[in-house]
Structure 1
Amino acid sequence: MNDPVLITGATSGLGLETAKYLAAEGIPLILGCRDPQRAEAAVQRIRAHAPDAGIELVELELASLDSVDAAVAELRRRKNPRLGAVVCNAGLQIVDRVRTSEDGYELTFAVNHLGHFALVTGCADLLAPGARVVVVSSDVHQGPRKSMGFPAPQWRHPRELADPDDQRDSGVDGRIRYATSKLANVYFTHELARRWHDRGITANAFDPGLMPQTGLSRGYPTVARIGFRFLAPVLIKVMPIARTVTRSAADLAWLVTAPELAGTTGKYFTGAAEVPSAPESYDEERATELWRVSEDLVRAARHVPPAERR
């Protein structure tokens, strides 16, 4: 792969470790990061692992569709703007209260789905045949049976999911919003695979498993965060769904680069294993509706008049 891989959320955790694997294979990288200082620190950590790594930075705040637009514009200004892959890795889980994005949308939905939707569709013409889109989802979209008791998603009309005034603010509700956003990731993947199949661009979803070493629990109470951190080695050993960040990153890098996956699209992977996603994730009407409403929400944030939104 000669064209660069764009990775969101690459300053820590899964995104950073995946970047290290790709850099070690000589693949050029573009890191989409919201914090310039943390981005520069990430570059140094990657180059400590792969000294000759080719790395570019683009400022990207997924909670702001203006920022997404600016990032896409910056990508287009590159001497060779083509992309070999986009890894939609960044995400957040909010459990303390309902929060709102810069555009007025519920923040979990805005970051975990809508920002990535705008980024990937905005880069559509930068992805040549053979390019790949990998969306980091989670088995929490499958409900408690597959997620060790994590609350199941509760799907509603996408406009309701995007509306912060239509949300409750308990910790359980925050986890439900997170699980629902991960289901949205799978719908987006399936619809993207259907729409771009004729262009030779693949789209697959990836479940990294429970990674207790990452910062996804940063929104939890202090006691819970500390306990989670100290128990991480034990959880990885005893919980079937728990995995190290390094192991998950190796699988994600494989999904981006493996020659044997060149024609694989619309699939769901847990680690390196292709498995079924939740039965409800195959609802094509929901996936199509999510795509259509997502387009409308993005256009509304750009203040496009309603008559021009179709």
Structure 2
Amino acid sequence: MKARGGNSSTNSHNHGGIDVLCLNAAVLLGEDSKAEFTEDGIEVTFQTNHLAPFLIANLLYDLINPGGRVVVTSSGLHAFCDFQEFRGCQLGGKATKGFEMINGEEFNHKQSYATTKLCNVAFCFGLNRRLRSKNARAVSFTPGLIPSSGLFRHQKNWMATAMKKQAVGMDDTVEWGGCMLAWMVLSERVVMNDPQVENSTYWRAPLGISKRGGKIPEDLFQTPVNEAALERRNQELLWRISSDLVGVSYNENTAISQQDHIIDQ
């Protein structure tokens, strides 16, 4: 994992800073896959889905303008897993590489994906708290189940799975996902907390609504998230572990990356 940090004040002066940062990368391995590791010694799903956006957000943190917004794409699957004390990657209180899944379970392609999406939501809460100092926000959402997005390209039976989802009206279109992301970026409603949904920065729509005459924003709503992502301890422990793995400094109050450095771990 290689990234170059520059002088953020210079970059901000030259480019005007960042008003919106969208963190949208994801990979889902095949059904029979064993854990695959990058040259950094980190499992591919975890590095792509969580560490990459975490690192990008840290490196660009100083460039985010007051009133800016970070939008993190997650998944409804985040609700069906748990961190389990992050026992997969901690040894003597220090984050270690080489783990198959961060919760210590044996690798499973779907559970690995779901756990990284839980990481996305917990990370979003931690980032949102840090962005308050500059009156900026971090929010997350699920675009729905979109078989045609390319996410399922490593699945042997993805076409059969897609047809099953389509048959019961659970799939959505790529256009819907894109429009929902655009709404997350532009709408002021997104950054106005719903008092009936405590601590939520997470948005969704009913599955398959795009093919049943669904409309944006009428069919979008805030919804509670997995309790594991709401726990401040989990948010900060994940932040500390992630900082160790990518080589940025950890700070409980800010997401400040080390300046003028090259990360090559």
TM-score in same-fold range (> 0.5) = yes
Change (3 A) 1:162 1:81: farther
CA displacement 1:28-64 (0-9 Å, x = unmatched): xxxxxxxxxxxxxxxxxxxxxxxxxxxxxxxxxxxx2
SS in 1 for 2:22: strand
Q: Is the 8 A contact 2:4 2:263 kept in 1?
A: no
Structure 2 counterpart of 1:132: 69
- Mapped to 1, the partners of 2:45 and 2:188 lie a distance apart of 34
Within 5 Å, give how 1:208-247 maps onto structure 2. 208-221=143-156, 224-228=157-161, 231=163, 235-236=165-166, 238-240=168-170, 242-247=171-176
- Unmatched segments (≥5 aa) in structure 2: 194-198, 206-219, 249-261
Aligned: 1:159 with 2:107: no
CA displacement 1:208-243 (0-9 Å, x = unmatched): 11111111111212xx033345x2xx6346244x22
Structure 1 counterpart of 2:259: none
From 94, 104, 111, give the equivalent of 1:176: 111
Q: Percent identity?
A: 26
SS in 2 for 1:219: coil
Within 5 Å, give how 1:113-128 maps onto structure 2. 113-128=50-65
State the one-letter code of the partner of 2:143: P
Higher helix share: 1
SS in 2 for 1:203: strand
Runs of 4+ that moved beyond 6 A: 70-73
Aligned: 1:268 with 2:205: no
CA displacement 1:64-84 (0-9 Å, x = unmatched): 2x1x437999x9399415111
Structure 2 counterpart of 1:302: 263
- Displacement after TM superposition at 1:135 (Å): 0.6
- Give the length in aligned residue pairs: 223
Cα RMSD for the two superposed structures = 3.1
SS in 2 for 1:216: coil
State the one-letter code of the partner of 1:227: A
From 127, 130, 138, give the equivalent of 1:203: 138
Higher relative contact order (CA 8 A, sep 6+): 2
State the one-letter code of the partner of 2:36: R
Aligned: 1:108 with 2:45: yes
Q: Is the 8 A contact 1:72 1:119 kept in 2?
A: no
Change (3 A) 1:237 1:270: farther
State the one-letter code of the partner of 2:224: P
State the one-letter code of the partner of 1:103: D
CA displacement 1:124-155 (0-9 Å, x = unmatched): 11111111001100010112xxxxxxxx3554
SS in 2 for 1:250: helix
- Unmatched segments (≥5 aa) in structure 1: 1-63, 144-151, 305-310
